[in-house]
Amino acid sequence: MNSAEASFAPKGELVYYSDPSDEKLKDLKLAYKFDIYSEKPISRQYVFVDAKNGNVLGTDAIIHEVNTPGTATTVYSGNRDIVTDSYNGSYRLRETGRNAGTAVETYNARKSTNLSGAVDFTDSDNVWNNVNTNKDQYATDAHWGAEMTLDYYYSKFGRKSIDNNNFAIKSYVHYGNNIFNAYWDGSRMLYGDGSSTTNGGKPLTAIDVCGHEITHGLTTKTANLVYQREPGALNEGFSDIFGNTIERWARPTKASWTLGEDFSYVIRDMSNPNAYRQPDTYKGTYWKDATTTGCAVPGQTTNDYCGVHTNSGVLNFWYYLLVTGGSGTNDNGFAYNVSGIGLDKAGAIAYRTLTTYLTSTSTYANTRTYSLQAAADLYGAGSNEVTQVTNAWNAVGVGGGTSPAGLVAAANNASSYTISPNPATDRFTVSFEGKAGKGAVELISLTGKREISEKVNIADGTNRLEIQIPSNILPGVYIVMVNGEKAGSLIKK
């Protein structure tokens, strides 16, 4: 009992002890009863030690942990239901067993970066509406945001926390002093209180930030995308995707395509990346050269690890178009038209791409390939979902939407195309109305690979272009593209 690390040496009280199963008290033993309290982890229990031989006979917990439904007046998301822990006549922002066993714990770092001094946030009645000068009211945003992030992944994909094995989600609010940032540090969430000069000193505990940062943890446990160059941009992009998706899922009446609007400092806009100096087209306006030629040594302060927070805009815009749809002309001069498939389907495709197919060094080209495979897995090879994933990638200039200079659009309406015969064995003809100029016909697999890219001459009026199919092309479903525009699907026998 006389530990050098103990803050005090407890004094024992001589008592008689009986095992709880000994209902008739037939085996009483003389014992010392010690009142043992621990701050970390917090616990208090009576420990009974045999007075004769020093053996521990038993313990009796004094602090009782009980998951208890509570309510919180969050700053950014209004009144929300949360789950807390009832202990010692009070309540703290802890929960055990969420979604089949995941712990959710939210602590007060007390404006320090030394987490050994962190303490619990507490409330006397489990109605968390206490506003104070320390801004403790922002803690419930972090707690609820963590709960909703876990609930989204569990309800949509059956995932039990970031590792699918009940990894505890611990959040530390009031991290450091005047820090305008939030982090996933590899094992927990750290939330700064914002900057008085940047955003009026509002803590960064908004739900889109919660979802974004915790998704970094999920990415580490799955694809483990290297945090630099294109893999790093994808890492950031997937966190933006799911941070925004979780916000839309948890509070659909108060959602937007921007990130950071809650704490008065918009960081990015997924619907218009250019507005915040991000590219919406691969290697287009605002793209940062992430090659070793353009960015020799990745660094945090020198080049943002070769543009990870900038080049993520391409993935963000791809996802926005996939969810909502849209039309326009990208930086390559390609006219695109995407029909949105909605949040649930787009989220499922993005999740499967990230957790099933991507690896640590995946690029944008890989992500196109694997997202098409994910869409085919979920909705079928010839599905509209596969078509719209293709269209969205073409819109952002990845694997399509990059027609060579001098090519003219064959038509504005894909329904004007006819492909025959279909199915085909060794050749097919694509017919359409066009304008005179140079053109190209491509045959693209559902994984995004160009199997054929043939330059052609387009005439005014009706065109019938016969394309030879190489013998090494395997049977399956392929997309026929004319000048970057989808002409239809072709079945190769």
Q: Distance from first CA to last CA of the chain, Å, rounded?
A: 79
pLDDT computed for residue 27 by the predictor: 83
> In the block, which residue shows the tokens 């992944």?
153
CA nearest to 399, candidates 282, 480, 320: 282
CATH of the domain at 355: 1.10.390.10
Q: What is the spatial distance between Cα 334 and Cα 405, in angstroms, rounded to a whole number?
A: 10
pLDDT of residue 414: 37
How many Å apart are CA 237 and CA 215, to the nearest integer? Answer: 10
Beta bridge partners of 399: none
Q: How far is C-alpha 477 from the chain's CA centre?
A: 31
Residues 157 and 100 in one domain: yes
Any domain includes 366: yes
Element (H, E) at 326: strand 325-329
| Residue 33, domain member (yes or no) | yes
Residue 4 lies in a domain: no
260/202 Cα distance (integer angstroms): 11
What does 118-130 look like in DSSP terms, one character per residue?
Answer: -EE-EESSSEE--
Residue 113 lies inside a defined structural domain of this protein: yes
Write down the pLDDT at residue 433: 85
Residues 205 and 254 placed together within one structural domain of the fold: no
- 298 and 244 in a common domain: yes
CATH number of domain containing 169 = 3.10.170.10
- Of the three residues 186, 221, 256, the one that is the final residue of a domain is 221
CA distance 337 to 334: 10
Domain shared by 299 and 160, yes or no: no
Instruction: Count the Cβ atoms, other than its own, within 10 Å of residue 83.
Output: 19
Distance from C-alpha of 443 to C-alpha of 445, rounded to nearest angstrom: 7
What is the structure's pLDDT at 62?
Answer: 59
Decide which of 343, 367, 395 is a domain's last residue: 395
Predicted local confidence at residue 43, as pLDDT: 60
Spatial CA neighbour of 46 closest among 80, 84, 82, 12:
12
What pLDDT does 279 receive? 97
Residue finishing a domain among 221, 243, 264:
221
> Domain for residue 404, yes or no?
no
> Quick one: 262 and 202 in the same domain?
no
Q: What is the CATH number of the domain that holds 434?
A: 2.60.40.3080
Q: Please identify which of the residues 147, 174, 309, 442 carries the catalytic annotation.
A: 309
Q: How far apart are alpha carbons 382 and 350 in whole angstroms?
A: 18
Contact, 263 vs 76, CB < 8 A?
yes
Q: Do the beta carbons of residue 212 and residue 259 sit within 8 Å? A: yes
Is residue 407 situated within a structural domain? no
Each of the 493 residues of the chain gets a pLDDT tens digit; together they read: 444 445 556 788 999 888 877 766 778 889 999 988 765 455 667 899 999 999 998 887 655 557 899 999 999 999 999 999 998 889 999 999 899 899 999 999 999 999 999 999 999 999 999 899 999 999 999 999 999 999 999 999 999 999 999 999 999 999 999 999 999 999 999 999 999 888 989 999 999 999 999 999 999 999 999 999 999 999 999 999 999 999 999 999 999 999 999 999 999 999 999 999 999 999 999 999 999 999 999 999 999 999 999 999 999 999 999 999 999 999 998 999 999 999 999 999 999 999 999 999 999 999 999 999 999 999 998 899 999 999 999 999 998 665 433 334 444 333 478 899 988 999 999 998 888 888 888 888 766 677 888 888 888 889 999 999 998 888 877 888 887 677 888 888 8
pLDDT at residue number 6: 52
451 is catalytic: no
In this structure, what DSSP letter does residue 198 have?
T
Q: For the chain, how many structural domains are there in total?
A: 4
Whether 400 maps to a domain, the answer reads no
Question: Can 236 be counted among the known catalytic residues?
Answer: no
Same domain, 234 and 205: no
- Asked whether residue 207 falls in the same domain as residue 241, the answer is no
Would you state the structure tokens that stand for residue 263, as one six-digit string?
């704490």
Same domain, 256 and 372: yes
Instruction: Say if residues 480 and 443 touch (Cβ distance below 8 Å).
Output: yes
For 367, other C-beta atoms within 10 Å of its C-beta total 30
- Asked whether residue 263 falls in the same domain as residue 114, the answer is no
> Is 2 inside any structural domain?
no
Active-site pick, 95, 147, 213, 247: 213
Tell me, yes or no, whether 205 and 83 share the same domain. Answer: yes
Domain residues for 250? 229-395
Q: What phi and psi, each to the nearest 5 degrees, are found at residue 90?
A: -140, -170
Q: What is the pLDDT of residue 239?
A: 98
Task: Say yes or no: 39 and 132 in one domain.
Answer: no
**So what's the pLDDT on residue 477?**
78
Q: Is 394 helix (H, G, I), strand (E, B) or coil?
A: helix
Same domain, 317 and 384: yes
Residue 166: φ, ψ to 5°: 65, 40
Burial of 455 (0-12, 13-18, 19+ CB in 10 A): exposed
**Beta pairing partners, 452:** 443
